[in-house]
Chains A and B, each alone.
Chain A
Amino acid sequence: MARIGVCIEVEEGVARDANRGVITAAAEGGNEVYALVSSGDPAALRGALEPYGVRTIIRVVAPATDLAKHPDLEAQALVNALRSYDLRGLMAPGTIQSNDRLARIAALLQAPLALDCMAIDVSRLVVMKSYFAGRSLASIRLGGTPWLCSLRPNAVEARLAPAQASVETFEAALRSEDSQMEILETRKSAGKSVNITEAMIVITGGRPFDSEEKFRLLHECAEALGAAVGASRAVVDAGHAPHAMQIGQTGKTVSPRLYIGCGISGSVQHYAGMKGSQVIVGINADKDAPIFQKCDYGLVGDLFQIVPALTAALKSR
């Protein structure tokens, strides 16, 4: 039974859903989970953390500076807290922000680190990662203490394990002058903010979706599904969707319960971004499209008839 830290990712004061599966994974085998919070109000986060088994929340602060503005200082403060609490391992959700956080900490400690893992065996300290854009799976042993690992969202199902958590404060004696970087601002994207990486259902448009009207058909279907909308690289490169919607090797990786690819050919590069989906549906006018070798359900036909038909079928009972 070891002490494992989970760096809680907080977005606008709320703990992201992706933290939950990480807490479950960390607690495996009776480990004591220490939730490390370096931004946001820990007392307010209790409600999101206690149901999954967190008994100790450590609020990490540096009185003389704002850790939220200095990622390098934040990492040092977390290193100091890890040492102070004698944490054996550190975990986090595999998001851009948390991967960055863990990488900084691992670099300071020269500790073993595996990011975006699809599975973890905490007792043997072996993780599973994708290699070669998902062509291979790599089992990696984290042979060092402390070890660090981030989990792909939805990789581990969160399990309820209600507990009561105490909140402690850890103060790091760090100053702004010690930092080499500062976050000046976060510029929100114009239009609706899109985060597809945590969605449980994703519907994606490929090359044939080359206009706003055509994309509207997808959005209507998405609404009926309760899905997030993604796009292939071709669509993004043609300017019909923002890069934030791109799924694939140079875009996002999604692991939803259901993935529907409309006009998606199933190229290796795109597949790399969604092959972890539980159920894959391919809809394409080309019966020879590679996607049909890699999906669970295939529909061959006119996309612009099938997608609206799907919307209608979902809406009827």
Chain B
Amino acid sequence: MRIYVCVKHVPDTGAYIALTGKTSYDESVKFVINPFDEYGVEQAVRTVEQRGEGEVVIVTVGKDAAEAAIRSALALGAHRGILVRTGQAFLDSGQTSRALQKAIEMDGRPDLVLMGRQSADVEGMQTPYRLAAALGMPVATNVVSIDIRKDRAIVEREMEDGSREVMEMTMPCVVGTTKGINEPRSPRLVEMIKAKNKEIRRIDITDLSVEDSATGAELVELTRPPERSRAVMLQGDPQEMAVELVRQLRQSRVL
């Protein structure tokens, strides 16, 4: 079984993002593997471990620094990686998906493709769908459970109210993972050392000819959200503060 896991290299959400231009930001902040993708890597590695056979291949579209995300995934137990190199900080989802599709199909025959349901930077929530369309596979995201039968996958999607939609898909398929599907392992030192010697193949995105796959969505400007003005700190004992809060909220018609 060959499982491809698409991972993205994204700024740590705890980091302060300094905007440096109309559509650029200071990329010297700490970057990590997209948290949602980590669930996908863990799921792929567990699946192969449980079956006693198979290969987990990491595919990433990103700048050279994105190799770090692949190494993180390799340290979690993935076998090898492919980096599709781009010079752009923000890449159109249509082009990203086409690049992932071509890189995967050039590499081998996928049985399953996993990725996070969204990236922590642009929160597009659409690459899994575009990738699936390019691969000709069915797709489900926000998945919290995957059960692989012979040529079908039974997945459970978590809905807003906590209910679960149970769906059957033909294999191979694309699945967008989210929190709740598993608990990613902490990489042990021995795995981190092994990861350094695992293969990462590099492809340049210009060699994949994905320009025509651009969707037409264009980032025009990045801005800082307006800060809230200084908070009104209420005074007094709990009863006094509570009464004052209710009074203020009713007066300003919030309540």
A binding-site residues for B, Cβ under 8 Å:
71-72, 95-97, 99-100, 103-104, 106-108, 110-116, 126, 129-144, 147, 180-189, 193-197, 201, 225, 242-245, 249-252, 257-258, 267-269, 272, 275, 278-282, 292-302, 305-306, 309-310, 312-314
Interface of A is mostly: mixed
Give the shortest distance, in Å, between A50 (CB) and chain B (any CB). 26
Interface of B is mostly: mixed
Q: Provided the pairs A126-B220, A279-B249 are in contact, do residues A272 and B231 lie with their beta carbons within 8 angstroms? A: no
Q: Which residues on the B side are within 8 Å of A299 (C-beta)? A: 233-234, 241-242, 245
7 A-B contacts (beta carbon < 8 Å):
A95-B160, A106-B126, A110-B213, A136-B223, A138-B221, A186-B165, A193-B161
- A72, A106, A201 interface centre (most CB from chain B within 10 Å): A106
Which residues does chain A contribute within 8 Å of B133, judged by CB atoms?
Answer: 107-108, 110
Contacts of B158 in A (CB 8 A): 96, 243-244
Total number of B residues with any Cβ neighbor in A under 8 Å: 79
- B28 at the A/B interface (Cβ < 8 Å)? no
Smallest Cβ-Cβ distance to B248: which chain A residue: A297
In contact, A298 and B121 (Cβ under 8 angstroms): no
In the complex, B154 has a CB within 8 A of chain A: yes
Known contacts A144-B217, A313-B242; A252 and B17 CB within 8 A of each other: no
Taking a contact as CB atoms closer than 8 A, the residue among A103, A110, A134, A194 that contacts B161 in the complex is: A194
Instruction: Please tell me if the beta carbons of B11 and A132 are within 8 angstroms of each other in the complex.
Output: yes
Give the distance in Å from the alpha carbon of A285 to the alpha carbon of B156 in the complex.
39
Interface pair B124/A136, CB less than 8 Å apart:
no
In the bound complex, CA of A139 to CA of B25 (Å): 14
| Bound-state Cα–Cα, A29 to B224, Å | 28
Partner of B245 from A100, A112, A269, A297 at Cβ < 8 Å: A297
- Taking CB atoms, residues of chain B closer than 8 Å to A183 are 165-167
* Contacting residue for B218 out of A111, A140, A267, A292, CB 8 A: A140
A96 touches B142 (CB 8 A): yes
* Residues of chain B with a CB closer than 8 A to A309's CB: 238-239, 241-243
